[in-house]
């Protein structure tokens, strides 16, 4: 067998395969992440928090499994439990799996499912509110959402789109598409 003729015949398919491989590598799209993943500046575990209003009075107390604080002064909390303190015994109790604390703001958003337990302002009856997200403003002592809400209490149940409550003034306002069912007293 003539090796001088066989070597070029073997090199041609090898070079063709190598050329094909290099050509495919040039056509491959390498996707990079959208941006750098922002790591928290620090993380608090088993955090307890107290917020004061502009008059220096306690407006809320809470606990979170973790709170991550970032360089831009924003934060992210996990498994949050909050008590909204009123001047009387009517305190709202809120729970949510997550919360966002926007930079340079004292208000924060609970992200759902959010469970809020409070009282109806007209008769003091306990009410449980379910929603997807809920803003809490400790300075104004207000909670509000534009999301659908479901309300349950012994004498009435209902739903609406949006809710606003001032826990200091004991108001509860359902905003849009309100449907309420009342249980007649026996």
Task: Look up the domain containing 119 and give its range.
Answer: 42-182
25 belongs to a structural domain: no
Pairing of strands 126-137, 142-152: antiparallel
Question: Phi/psi class of residue 56: alpha, beta or left (left: φ > 0; alpha: ψ in -120 to 50)?
Answer: left
9 belongs to a structural domain: no
Q: What is the pLDDT of residue 9?
A: 61
Tally of structural domains, the chain: 1
> Which of 118 and 31 is assigned the larger pLDDT?
118
11 belongs to a structural domain: no
23 belongs to a structural domain: no
Q: What CATH number did the domain enclosing 153 receive?
A: 2.60.450.10
97-152, pLDDT tens digit by residue?
999 999 999 899 999 899 999 988 888 899 999 999 999 998 888 999 999 999 99
Residue 170: half-sphere exposure toward Cβ, Cα within 13 Å:
14
17 belongs to a structural domain: no
34 belongs to a structural domain: no
Cα(68)–Cα(43) distance, rounded to whole angstroms? Answer: 4
27 belongs to a structural domain: no
Q: How many CB atoms lie within 10 A of CB 167?
A: 25
Cα(133)–Cα(141) distance, rounded to whole angstroms? Answer: 17
2 belongs to a structural domain: no
Q: pTM of the prediction?
A: 0.75
Is the pLDDT score of 31 beyond 80? no
């Amino acid at each position: 067998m003539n090796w001088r003729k066989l070597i070029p015949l073997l090199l041609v398919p090898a070079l063709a395969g190598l050329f094909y491989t290099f050509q495919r590598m040039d056509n491959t799209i390498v996707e990079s992440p959208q941006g750098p993943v922002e790591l928290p500046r620090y993380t608090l575990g088993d955090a307890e928090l107290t917020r004061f209003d502009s008059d220096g009075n306690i407006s809320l107390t809470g606990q979170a499994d973790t709170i991550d604080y970032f360089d831009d002064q924003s934060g992210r909390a996990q498994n949050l439990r909050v008590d909204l303190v009123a001047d009387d015994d009517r305190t709202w109790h809120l729970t949510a799996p997550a919360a966002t604390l926007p930079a340079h703001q004292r208000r924060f958003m609970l992200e759902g499912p959010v469970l809020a337990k409070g009282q109806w302002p007209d008769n003091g009856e306990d009410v449980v509110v379910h929603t997807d997200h809920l803003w809490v403003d400790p300075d104004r002592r207000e909670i509000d959402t534009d999301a659908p809400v479901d309300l349950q209490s012994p004498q009435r149940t209902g739903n609406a789109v949006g809710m606003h409550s001032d826990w200091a003034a004991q108001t509860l306002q359902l905003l849009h598409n309100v449907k309420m069912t009342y249980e007649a007293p026996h």
